[in-house]
Amino acid sequence: MDHSAVDMSVDLSAASGSPAAGGATVAAVLAVKSLHRAKSRLAATLASAFGHDDPTTRGWLVLAMFLDTVEALRGAGVSRVVVVSPDDDVLAAAQRAGTHGLPEVVSPPAGPGLNVAFGHGARWARETWPDSTRVVFVQADLPAATSDSMREVLQEAPAHRLSFLTDRDGTGTVLLHGTFTPDDPGALDDAPRFGPGSAAAHRAAGAVELDPAHTRWTDLRTDVDTATDLDAARALGLGPHTADALRRL
């Protein structure tokens, strides 16, 4: 894939490398699909708005949104970030962005999937950074996310062992936060329940919803899967990588 349409550099000067909140080091886990399969629901939007659509075009956009999500995390002081993906281009971009790229491992009978990838990343983070007592699973398509909102969420999340933030319509999940316990350090590996109806699934699993009135952190809640999502993110203000990618389409 030609990456010339996306600025792959990331300014890490805002990242202090210090814990995001609470005196505990946070490890962030992101999972990204193969770029050729990503964001098929945006195909009609790109074709209508720009006169063309192909997997490469969408791949540029996916990488750009991923980079803006990473910058929001790093700006919030999260220096330990691992990205799980089956795509070599994603893993290379992750390394260039100063994060750790981890090849997705498909283990039958679970097969591939977002939650399997998140669990794999959590295990790797726990083994690599044993002093990280907190993990945050973050959707990688949050182009309007700001470091201020990310920092605020990470400051409030430790009040509960397991907590989550919903998307704009309240049915999906954009972020899941958990704290490791000494007696069961692997408990969070199976905590992610991302996918259709994930908010209800996380709630049923005992996670506490952050801001259940949905009055805060609109930028973090705006993940992008459809034309409506992209318009909402534009209205809030896109991160520099996503804005640049769209200008180049």
- Which CATH number is 159's domain given? 3.90.550.10
**Residue 101 is assigned to a structural domain of this protein:** yes
> What average pLDDT does this structure show over 131-136?
93
Answer yes or no: is 11 within a domain: no
Q: Is residue 2 part of a domain?
A: no
pLDDT at res. 169? 95
> Shortest CA distance to 145 belongs to which of 215, 227, 232, 211?
232
Answer yes or no: is 124 within a domain. yes
Q: 175 in a domain, yes or no?
A: yes
Average pLDDT of the chain?
85
Tens digits of residue pLDDT in 82-103: 999 999 999 999 999 999 999 9
In angstroms, the CA 45 to CA 110 distance is 33
Indicate if the pLDDT at residue 141 is higher than 80: yes
Yes or no: say if 33 and 55 are a contact pair by the CB < 8 Å rule.
no
Q: pTM for this one?
A: 0.87
CA angle at residue 42 from 46 to 142, to 5 degrees?
110
Other CB atoms within a 10 A radius of the CB of residue 213 amount to 6
- Residues in a beta bridge with 162: 178
- Of 162-171, 187-196, 226-235, where does the model show the most confidence? 162-171
Range of the domain at 31: 25-248
Encoded amino acid at 115, one letter:
N
Q: How confident is the model at residue 105 (pLDDT cuts 50, 70, 90)?
A: confident
Higher per-residue pLDDT: 4 or 185:
185
Q: Report whether 191 contacts 135 (CB < 8 A).
A: no
**Rounded Cα distance, 35 and 19, in Å:** 31
Specify whether the CB–CB gap between 229 and 223 falls below 8 A: yes
Number of separate domains in the chain: 1
23 or 224: which carries more pLDDT confidence? 224
Q: Cα separation of 145 and 72, whole Å? A: 6
Q: For the purposes of burial, counting CB atoms within 10 Å of the CB of 127, is it exposed (0-12), middle (13-18) or buried (19 or more)?
A: exposed
pLDDT at 184 over 60: yes
Q: What is the pLDDT of residue 5?
A: 46
User: CA 188, CA 136: separation in Å to the nearest integer?
Assistant: 10
Number of other residues whose CB lies within 10 A of the CB of residue 9? 10
| Overall average pLDDT of the 103-109 stretch | 72
Complete DSSP assignment for 235-249: HH---HHHHHHHHH-
In a domain, 169, yes or no: yes
**Confidence label for 8 from pLDDT (cuts 50, 70 and 90):** very low
Residue 14, domain member (yes or no) = no
Q: Is the pLDDT of residue 49 over 70?
A: no
Domain contains 82: yes
The annotation status of 198 as a binding-site residue, yes or no, is yes
Q: What is the pLDDT of residue 2?
A: 45
Which DSSP letter does residue 15 get? -
Joined together, the tokens standing for residue 165 give 């933030």
**How do residues 197-212 score in pLDDT, each as one tens digit?**
999 999 999 999 999 9
Q: 195 a known binding residue? A: yes
Residue 59: the pLDDT is: 80
- The whole-number pLDDT of residue 227 equals 81
pLDDT of residue 198: 97
Q: Does the pLDDT of residue 10 top 50, yes or no?
A: no
